[in-house]
Structure 1
């Protein structure tokens, strides 16, 4: 925050009161980019970012997913939390296919968490999180934000390669080498995944 000068030509009581107000004014919250899909996980992460004192800037993707209702859900969540900046980015990943979420492949239903943790499921969208995090990284640099929040959880990282802690650590290291702000040392980007060790049941209790 810029340092403000208070003229000492003012009456002493005014100077004293002004200095008190400057000391007690809330420090503006730092911006943080939050990946907001419209689901439970991302809504919980948005709440966590807000509770940690960040000014969340929400980013939602319309990537050709079969359930467009997610986009409207993300808008409602952003409004509910009073998010001032919420952008919806259009990227059509249907051009590549390869996933039950972006093509006509049947989505499996009724799978247990144990089943979901075995192998890489057909709901994996090739490189989706790398694409999403790259957009988030770019927006964070423009905003001057050093923090990105994402909703990966224990069920996700057991089955999806781009949700695993080692992947996220590698992306974070790359981001600090691939951006002007990182190279110049103005920002050290950090990716927050507060749900990474949590099951769906734990997330529901937390949310």
Structure 2
């Protein structure tokens, strides 16, 4: 397929987690055409990929206009990223900290690779906006989640592809409690419940234990952030 004409549509990096589901709702609320993109890179928690279909099916039942706006889903196999990565997200290893102080769940280059492939697909599909859940407020210190990284990459992609992509990061400056609140503002309690029941965040890929905030081991860094954020969101909602 050749190059498509550019419109004001969006491509959402959609992993099947809390953040990307919130970003999907954010995009559906704003853009006339929205497509989704997931990556299989041999991640330890690849159960998240199985959640994507249920989330897409559930989200269009929340708001009628979202059903009209939601377009195709795409999945790209990036096995090479997992092959070159010696991390706790791509190997059966205990989660901790690596040399230099970064968590060993950091997959070097992951977001740079993801956004580059996303831009390549958006180029073909004629989509201007690329939406990702990167955040440097509640995060683990990953350098490729920083706003400066995203802005620099946007410049590089636009220069290299002769386009005017806009890399959208609606969660960049908000914490996990505010991310839950944003979901509530976009889709009410039905969207919050959909995220609780059908999204996946746990780094260990556990879906056995159901907590107030959803499924997961309850102890890994991803579960810890999600649980604490939900507790603050729920307390503020009651208050």
Of the candidates 167, 172, 180, which is equivalent to residue 154 of structure 2? 172
d(CA) in 1 for partners of 2:151, 2:101: 22
1:24 aligned partner: none
1:51 aligned partner: 29
Q: Is 1:97 aligned with 2:117?
A: no
2:129 aligned partner: 147
Q: Is 1:76 aligned with 2:64?
A: no
Superposition TM-score, scaled by structure 1 size: 0.74
2:176 aligned partner: 200
Q: Is 1:63 aligned with 2:41?
A: yes
Superposition TM-score, scaled by structure 2 size: 0.64
- CA drift at 1:147: 0.7
d(CA) in 1 for partners of 2:82, 2:123: 28
Count of aligned pairs: 164
d(CA) in 1 for partners of 2:122, 2:82: 26
2:110 aligned partner: 128
Of stretches 87-96 and 56-65 in structure 1, the one that deviates more from structure 2 is 87-96
Measured on the aligned residues, the alpha-carbon RMSD in Å equals 1.9
Structure 1 spans left out of the alignment, 5+ residues: 1-28, 109-114
d(CA) in 2 for partners of 1:89, 1:79: 20
1:3 aligned partner: none
**Contact map agreement 1:31 1:56 (CA 8 A) in 2:** yes
d(CA) in 2 for partners of 1:54, 1:164: 28
SS at match of 2:127: coil
d(CA) in 1 for partners of 2:120, 2:52: 21
Larger Rg: 1
